Amino acid sequence: MRIRILLLTSCFLLLASTLSFAQGDFPKPTGRVNDFAGVLDASVKAEIDQLLADLERKTSSEVAVAVVRSLDGMSVEDYANRMFKAWGVGQAKQDNGVLVVVAPNQREMRIEVGYGLEGVLPDGLAGEIIREQFTPRFRDDDYPGGIRDGIRRIVEVVERNQVLTPEELARFNESSSDDAPPWVIIPFLGLFVAIGFFMIGAGIRTKTVFPFLFGGMFGGTPLLLSLGIVFTLALFTLFPLALGMAIFGYRMGARASVRDSFRPKGKGSSGGWTMGGGSSGSGSSSSSSSGSSGSFGGGSSGGGGSSGRW
């Protein structure tokens, strides 16, 4: 019994620490080219900024670059997707934004693409640009050259505004070797789904708000994300897993050890809902959205794009 309580407490602390990262503020954009890691010299930064300004003037599409010191414990995919939404890259109505995140210390990068450009810059083509323009120079620690070459290619693709045919999409998808296969994606996302929906079930049974809300974020986000990656497989694996773990969490919530770990002593006798999980979770949500769009147009990410490592 003590081991079970210890495991539950450890999971809860891990989730709480992850939530603090998720709610934390991203660095505020200073323009189209944001070099928070100090790897770009002034001339290259000015050259890239001019390319992106010309593209925006011609097409209204917005491309932003963020070179970051750290991914703050997140995956590069999650970090880029959250930063894209926080900054609001692209026009709000067209969702025609692209965010390029480069993390030199982690040797990872991602091209995150808005809904409106997914037909022009699909995942496979984004992966090809990473492999052919960005990472070859990154392997030689030439970050200015790699970012410049990669951005030039992105600008050419977006400016051409050519929606790829099914045959071209198939060719790019076949050649894309940096995307994880389903047998890796499903177990990885399944871990988050299982923990999140266990928290939802336990939160409902113990009538604690924090586990319920946090479980929805922690498990629901990867569940929805999986639909855009491997729809059919996710539908028949992760959705049953989510339902099963919610039921399991609900049943476990009836146990005194679980209930006491979620509901602080003195709050469990009234029978009503309580916050649970600590008292500091209510004040941080408003601050992260205050600097959302910066100088960008307020676009949204469609979760499309590709990642690379070197």
d(CA 114, CA 52): 16
Within the chain, which residues score under 50 in pLDDT?
1-13, 16-24, 177, 267-269, 278-293
For residue 273, the model assigns a pLDDT of 72
What Cα–Cα distance (Å) separates residue 119 from each residue in 129, 173, 303? Answer: 15, 13, 13
Q: What is the pLDDT of residue 279?
A: 39
Give the pLDDT of residue 87: 93
Q: What is the pLDDT of residue 21?
A: 44
Measure the N-to-C terminal CA separation of the chain; round to a whole number of Å: 45
CA distance 21 to 26: 10
Question: Given this model, what pLDDT does residue 278 score?
Answer: 44
> pTM score > 0.85 for this model?
no
∠ at Cα 250 (249, 253), nearest 5°?
85
The pLDDT of residue 257: 73
CA distance 97 to 299: 6
Residue 310 amino acid letter? W
Longest pairwise C-alpha distance within the chain:
66
Strand partners, 64: 99
C-alpha–C-alpha distance, residues 89 and 254, integer Å: 45
Are 102 and 68 in contact by the 8 Å Cβ rule? The answer is yes
